[in-house]
Amino acid sequence: MSKYTPPKVWTWDKPCGGQFESTNRPVAGATEEKELPRGKQPLQLYSLATPNGVKVTVMLEELLALGCAGAEYDAWPISLKGEQFGSGFVAINPNSKIPALLDTSTDPATRIFESGAILIYLAEKFGHFYPTEVPERTECLSWLMWQMGSAPFLGGGFGHFYAYAPEPMEYPINRYAMEVKRQLDVLNRNLAERRYLGGEDYTIADMATYAWYGALVLGRLYSAAEFLDVASYRHVHRWASEIDERPAVKRGRRVNRTWGPEEKRMPERHSAADFESALAPESR
């Protein structure tokens, strides 16, 4: 491999390679005029069932399971092969990343982007999965911010170089594998003494972290479970397995899923009845 010498000023003058080469670019903003669909529910979610998207659909399904009628939502899939640069989507999320949420129950409608911000917004709006006492709420927020800051090392770092780069490269894979294992150790030590991240109560911090690290230890990310020896983090595995069995979590994982076995897909979701019809034999 030839040695790379960075130029004095980087310019975007040749393809970078990799699975997402066609959509990666160094500028923001819309590339085409494209309106987003709009349903009848109070909340309009534009997303995909990646870990960041799953955080929000799990939260919404958990709220609906508690009887929060105002949490009803329409979920629309956003293809990451360019739809995130449509003008309608950029108007909700100028960063062109999923998920993005529009709350049409307010006047004017409220846009919320960044998965952590969406979780906090929904938790505050409906008063669930968010501690009311300051010490417990602070602990919850600390773990939520930990996840938001740590996941780029797991997704954009380890995941990119292990699964999506044009070719395997030892240095970045080793660098990010080391960091991901350190993060798993942080979680494992905390969960050795607690049922959930903040204590005995299930919160938005658990939902956010489960979507990434739960998926990792349960063997659903990057086919890297054996490589990272995730089975050795037994407290993380116990915590992830418990959350994985929650009915709302099972539903949330299906929403905006456009790949995998047909019975696990639900590209769009417009009411709770969609889950029943998706399980009907004629819909498979």
- 26 and 69 share a domain? yes
- Which carries the bigger pLDDT value, residue 112 or residue 19? 112
Tell me, what amino acid is at 66?
Answer: L
- State how many domains the chain has: 2
- 47 and 118 share a domain? yes
Q: What is the mean pLDDT of residues 10-16?
A: 82
pLDDT band of 38, cuts 50, 70, 90: very high
Query: Does 197 reside within a domain?
Result: yes
- Give CA–CA dist 248/252, Å, rounded: 6
pTM: 0.94
Query: Does 267 reside within a domain?
Result: yes
pLDDT per position as a tens digit, 39-87: 999 999 999 999 999 999 999 999 999 999 999 999 999 998 889 999 9
Tell me the CATH number at 92: 3.40.30.10
- 50 and 187 share a domain? no
Of 4-18, 54-68, 147-161, 211-225, where does mean pLDDT reach its minimum? 4-18
Q: Is the pLDDT of residue 89 over 90?
A: yes
pLDDT band of 23, cuts 50, 70, 90: confident
- 236 and 224 share a domain? yes
- 257 and 175 share a domain? no
Tell me the CATH number at 151: 1.20.1050.10
Query: Does 4 reside within a domain?
Result: no
Query: Does 2 reside within a domain?
Result: no
Residue 138 structural domain: 134-245
Residues with Cβ within 8 Å of residue 147, at least 6 apart in sequence: 116, 205, 208, 209, 212, 213
Q: Is the pLDDT of residue 222 over 80?
A: yes
Nearest to 37 by CA among 81, 102, 85, 99: 102
pLDDT per position as a tens digit, 121-157: 999 999 999 999 999 999 999 999 999 999 999 999 9
Query: Does 232 reside within a domain?
Result: yes
- 116 and 256 share a domain? yes
pLDDT of residue 284: 33
pLDDT of residue 282: 36
- 241 and 252 share a domain? no
Backbone torsion region of residue 256, taken as left when φ is above 0, otherwise alpha when ψ lies between -120 and 50, otherwise beta: left
